[in-house]
Amino acid sequence: MKDQMNGLTKSGKIIIYLYMLFTCLVSVFPILWIFLSSLKADPMKNPGLSLPTELSFDGYIKVFTELHVLDYFWNSFKVVSISVFISIIMISMSSYVIARMEFRGKKLITMMLYSTLFIPATAMTFPVYRLVNVLGIYNTPLALMFVYSCSGIAMSFFIIRNYFAIIPKDLEEAAEIDGASYPQIFWKIMLPIARPGILTAAILSFINNWNEFYWASMLVINPKELTVPALLAQFTTDFNTNYNGLFSAIVVIILPPILLFTFASKYFIEALGGGAVKG
């Protein structure tokens, strides 16, 4: 990246820096706006990106003391972690087969996996709701695990498959000569090499499922099993909305994904750069 920047003209560098600055401002603006609003006693009286005239931490206090946000955090972490683990294992195996092997119907299967990207959640409402009831897992964490394990398949498949595809075939051929079976090649050789791509897909899936509200509010109504997004509904009634508490809850909810992405950013860079595969 540094070498590429050195090859640009001065005007080109200025344009790139201005674009990056604009992108940062657009990304940070909503987070900063929500954070400042959470510190205002009544955000509607002093709306917008402005400093609070008087600091108010009532929303944060209510989130941790009255609503017990840590219980919601545990419910979300339990559901999301298990579903991501199941999903990534299945997608990693299917991605390896499609990326490294030739068989009849390969293009059709690939197309079907990618097509899930264009199916909105609302179109699946009735079939999923009925299936969850038939399986007897409605209003349990298993319902969300079942749905989340099958969600976001296209994006995870795209990332992991592309990473498997760039790994040199010499590694597989050398392992086959040494007598390794396909499962051994996958688990002991291919999977560790593709770790950056797999972790990138897992983190993106974790963040998407952590913030998911549609299925979380529909399939689970037991207050003891509600996930983090359902916490937001606690601040809205038919007659009033507690915006101070709502914004405070949003700040608390978005912190784990931000911290997760911050600590795992090196895997994103490595995955986008194609990894460090040496022949």
- Span 174-221, pLDDT tens digits: 888 888 888 888 888 888 888 888 888 898 899 889 988 889 888 988
Q: How many domains does the chain have?
A: 2
Q: Where are the alpha helices (DSSP H) in 136-242?
A: 141-149, 153-165, 169-177, 182-185, 191-193, 195-211, 214-219
Q: Is the pLDDT of residue 62 over 70?
A: yes
Are 30 and 122 in the same domain? no
Amino acid residing at 74: W
Statement to judge: residues 181 and 79 lie in one domain: yes
| 210-253 per-position pLDDT tens digit | 988 889 888 988 888 888 887 777 777 656 777 888 888 888 88
Q: Nearest CA to 160 among 88, 266, 81?
A: 88
0.85 exceeded by pTM: no
Instruction: Based on the fold, state whether residues 264 and 181 are members of the same structural domain.
Output: yes
Q: Same domain for 17 and 150?
A: no
Contact 250, 94 (CB under 8 A): no
Q: What angle do CA 251, 253, 257 make, to 5 degrees?
A: 105
The answer to whether residue 276 scores a pLDDT higher than 50 is: no
95 & 226 share domain: yes
Q: How far apart are CA 220 and CA 222, in angstroms?
A: 6
- The answer to whether residues 20 and 120 belong to one domain is no
Residues 21 and 122 in one domain: no
